[in-house]
Amino acid sequence: MIQSIVHIALVVNDYDEAIDFYTKKLHFELVEDTYQPEQSKRWVVVSPPSSNGTTILLAKATRKVQESFIGNQAGGRVFLFLGTDNFDRDYSEMVNKGVEFVRPPKAKNMEKLHSSKIYMVTYGI
């Protein structure tokens, strides 16, 4: 049996704000944005550039209980990890575009992080 996780749903406040954040600040690709009239919502999927793995489904909160999870998707834990082929380039660009990071990278971790993970506060996380 072969299985994989195709989408991870991320509760957001507004579709267009989230699309703007992911595509303009993180250079993600907008994979799909389809209105679903029977449910009066949109199916919005984004992914990192050139990614062929799991995508993010941007799911707009429609009830108060869902709104309470915006910004706290994982109860205060790190929720998503973004890999990169050039940490310095991507980190600098994201900072210049206003992406907020939980903490700056530590020098002793830079080699490990260089081609690995970026820890950031992202829209809706």
Question: Considering the entire predicted model, what is its pTM?
Answer: 0.82
pLDDT in tens, 27-84: 999 999 999 999 999 999 999 998 888 999 999 999 999 988 888 888 877 777 788 8
CB-based contacts of 37, cutoff 8 Å, min separation 6? none
pLDDT in tens, 77-124: 777 778 888 888 888 898 899 888 777 776 545 544 444 344 455 565
| Neighbour count for residue 71 (Cβ, 10 Å) | 14
Would you say 60 and 15 are in contact if contact means Cβ atoms under 8 Å apart? yes
For 52-65, what is each residue's pLDDT tens digit? Answer: 889 999 999 999 99
